[in-house]
């Protein structure tokens, strides 16, 4: 509701409030948020009142029990205990009995009303700490304990606001999140609405402004002896400002994460970035809001799920580095080639020997979304004409084959590329690797496709590149598998 600052004020020419009940009531009523309504609970008196009523009822009940014992020996009295009409007729002769009933009725009603009032009062909040500080500052015309401070109310009322545990607020400021509290503690001067200076003097002008109380500037001839004043800070404006900041921060964490993940080609780096952004998001929610632990877990899981779905989705350019002028790769199809034992043909005139590897089978299956869709198998036997570099570190591929699609179209496939001769690939080619798969990244090829079928003519216009690896199983033919992508505009 309020915070402390220093302000010099001079009295207005007219319309002043006398220090005391008028000025204190004006201060309470002048808070636009209605949080200045702070009053003493009088818990000790309330408890004592309930104890008095409780004891009074106990005495009344004891008196009634004595009369009931007397009635046990009298037959007529027993009838009065069963019939209200008879009880009322007898009360004309013994009015004290009816008076006892009326006393019980009135005291019991008062006792229970007091109990219900205490129950309601117990649910009302204690004053907000900052609001109470401002209220006490105003009540004592300065900081309590200062040599120049004195209470607004005199007599026994001067101590009513001493015990914070025995105070109640008719309304507390709305619960603020940590970001709003940080803004209020450090940037409250940006949200100042008005001042409440009138308790230091016997005057205060009231006007019909939103804040009701007007600030007055001091004159040279009339400077106040105490310079502190209470300032009203708009909680609504702080909440709106904090909402703007939270919205911008959440948008940056989501949109920024998506953009960065879109630009990064490495899957490993992407996983690390997802972890980093998830931690940042979780800490932002936990530190800047009042979300409970389960709510933090829930929104963080949803945020991480969005990033994971984005990364795992079939985007137009999922692994490309998006830079001006550079092309991108669109997933096209997967080529699986079954190869047989190589024929070391050799060469008399060339420095590199020729090795022919028969391609005895295989398939081409297109990726979802690629057109024209391919579902084809190798037809007949193709060959891969391989030459090793003189240093033996790489071999050069030159493969030719024909595939037949499921709808009986023939397509000529020609790809060329290089293979780094790692230990795993050497074992795979020699049949010594057993059940194993070599990693991607050691074999890269480019494809040329020809066909006379009208349905697949667009394949001839595309540029296709791929990376491959070897799959070996004991007792089965070695498979070379290529993941092929189409070069598209970046």
The last residue of one of the domains, among 267, 287, 313, is 313
What residues make up the domain containing 169? 15-21+29-39+126-173
Average pLDDT over the chain reads: 79
pLDDT for 392 equals 86
| Residues 290 and 361 reside in one and the same domain | no
Over residues 352-367, the mean pLDDT reads: 92
Closest CA to 177 of 31, 4, 296: 296
Q: Which of 81, 101, 123 is the last residue of a domain?
A: 123
The DSSP-derived string for 410-472 is EEEEEEEEEEE--HHHHHHHHT-S-SEEPPTTSEEEEEEEE---GGGGGGGG--EEEEEEEEE
Q: Residue 101: its pLDDT value, please?
A: 82
Q: Taking residues 74-85, what's their average pLDDT?
A: 64
Residues 88 and 75 reside in one and the same domain:
yes
Asked if residue 216 is part of any domain, the answer here is no
One domain for residues 111 and 144: no
pLDDT at residue 204, as a whole number: 33
Structure-block tokens of residue 129: 């700490």
Indicate whether 360 belongs to any domain: yes
What pLDDT was estimated at residue 29? 80
Q: Express as a percent the part of the chain with pLDDT over 70.
A: 76
Residue 229 located in a structural domain: no
Claim to verify: residue 135 and residue 106 sit in the same structural domain: no
Per-residue pLDDT of 115-124, as tens digits, reads: 999 999 888 8
pLDDT of residue 219: 37
Task: Say what percent of the chain tops pLDDT 90.
Answer: 29
Residue 358 belongs to a domain? yes
Residue 41 CB-density burial (10 A; 0-12 exposed, 13-18 middle, 19+ buried): middle
Q: How far apart are CA 55 and CA 60, in angstroms?
A: 9
- Between 91 and 270, the more confident residue is 270
Q: Classify residue 192: in a domain, yes or no.
A: no
Q: Is the pTM of this model over 0.75?
A: no
State residue 163's pLDDT score.
Answer: 84
Is 246 within the bounds of a domain? Answer: yes
pLDDT for 387 equals: 92
**Cβ–Cβ < 8 Å for 445, 397:** yes
164 and 279, same structural domain? Answer: no
Q: Check residue 346 and give its pLDDT.
A: 85
Q: Are residues 349 and 464 in the same domain?
A: yes
Which of 261, 288, 313 terminates a domain? The answer is 313
pLDDT at 193: 54
Identify whether 458 is part of a domain.
yes
Give the pair of three-digit tokens for residue 425. Answer: 């690939």
Contacts of 334 (CB under 8 A, 6+ apart): 364, 365, 367, 481, 482, 483, 484
Residue 201 or 474, more confident: 474
Q: What average pLDDT does the segment 109-114 reach?
A: 94
- Evaluate whether residue 213 is within a structural domain: no
Residue 440 has pLDDT above 50, yes or no: yes
pLDDT average, residue stretch 382-386: 92
> Are residues 119 and 265 part of one domain?
no
> Both 92 and 139 in a single domain?
no
Of the candidates 67, 48, 45, which has an alpha carbon nearest to the alpha carbon of residue 56? 48
Total of domains in the chain:
4
> Do 341 and 275 share a structural domain?
no
Residue 114 has pLDDT above 90, yes or no: yes
Band of pLDDT at residue 59, cut at 50, 70 and 90: very high
Domain shared by 343 and 391, yes or no: yes
In the predicted model, what is the mean pLDDT of residues 207-215? Answer: 34
* pLDDT tens digits, 152-174: 788 888 888 888 888 888 887 66
Examine the domain organization and report whether 48 and 134 are in the same domain.
Answer: no
State the CATH number of the domain containing residue 443.
Answer: 2.40.160.20
Asked if residues 164 and 133 have their Cβ atoms less than 8 Å apart, the reply is no
Q: Quote the pLDDT of residue 433.
A: 76
- CB contact set of 403 (below 8 Å; sequence gap of 6+): 363, 364, 376, 377, 378, 379, 410, 411, 413
More confident residue, 186 or 203: 186
Same domain, 457 and 340: yes
Q: Is the pLDDT of residue 107 over 70?
A: yes
């Amino acid at each position: 509701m309020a915070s402390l600052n220093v302000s010099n004020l001079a009295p207005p020419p007219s319309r002043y409030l006398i220090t005391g009940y008028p000025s204190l009531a004006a201060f309470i009523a002048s808070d636009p948020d209605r949080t200045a309504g702070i009053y003493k609970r009088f818990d000790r008196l309330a408890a004592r009142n309930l104890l008095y009523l409780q004891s009074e009822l106990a005495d009344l009940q004891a008196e009634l029990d004595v009369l009931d014992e007397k009635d046990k020996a009298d037959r007529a009295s027993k009838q009065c205990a069963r019939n209200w009409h008879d009880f009322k007729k007898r009360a004309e002769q013994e009015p004290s009995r009816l008076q006892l009933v009326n006393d019980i009725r009135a005291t019991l009603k008062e006792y229970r009303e007091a109990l219900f009032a205490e129950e309601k009062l117990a649910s009302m909040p204690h004053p907000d700490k900052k609001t109470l500080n401002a209220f006490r500052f105003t009540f004592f015309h300065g900081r309590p304990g200062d040599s120049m401070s004195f209470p607004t109310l005199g007599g026994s009322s001067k101590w009513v606001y001493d015990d914070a545990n025995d105070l109640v607020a008719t309304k507390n400021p709305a619960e603020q999140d940590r970001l709003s509290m940080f803004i209020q503690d450090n940037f409250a001067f940006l949200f100042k609405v008005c001042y409440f200076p009138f308790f230091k003097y016997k005057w205060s002008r009231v006007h019909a402004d939103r804040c009701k109380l007007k600030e007055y500037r001091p004159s040279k001839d009339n400077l106040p002896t105490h310079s502190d004043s209470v300032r009203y800070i708009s909680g609504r404006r702080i909440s709106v400002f904090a909402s703007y900041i939270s919205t911008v921060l959440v948008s940056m964490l989501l949109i920024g994460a998506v953009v960065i993940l879109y630009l990064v080609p490495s899957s490993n780096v992407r996983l690390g970035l997802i972890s980093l952004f998830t931690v940042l998001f979780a800490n932002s929610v936990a530190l800047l809001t009042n979300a409970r632990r389960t709510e933090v877990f829930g929104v963080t899981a949803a945020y991480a799920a969005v990033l994971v779905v984005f990364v795992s989705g079939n985007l137009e350019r999922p692994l490309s580095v998006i830079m001006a002028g550079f092309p991108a790769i669109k997933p096209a199809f997967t080529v699986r080639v079954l190869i047989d034992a190589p024929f070391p043909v050799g060469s008399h005139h060339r420095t590199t020997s020729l090795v022919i590897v028969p391609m005895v089978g295989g398939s081409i299956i297109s990726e979802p979304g690629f057109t024209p869709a391919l579902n084809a198998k190798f037809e007949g036997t193709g060959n891969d004409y391989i030459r090793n570099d003189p240093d033996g570190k790489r071999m050069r591929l030159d493969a030719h084959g024909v595939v037949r699609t499921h709808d009986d179209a023939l397509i000529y496939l020609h790809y060329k590329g290089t293979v780094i001769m790692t230990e795993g690939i050497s074992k795979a080619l020699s049949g010594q690797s057993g059940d194993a798969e070599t990693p991607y990244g050691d074999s890269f090829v480019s494809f040329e496709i020809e066909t006379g079928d009208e349905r697949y003519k667009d394949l001839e216009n595309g540029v296709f590149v791929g990376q491959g690896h070897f799959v070996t199983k004991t007792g089965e033919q070695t498979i070379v598998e290529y993941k092929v992508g189409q070069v598209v505009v970046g």
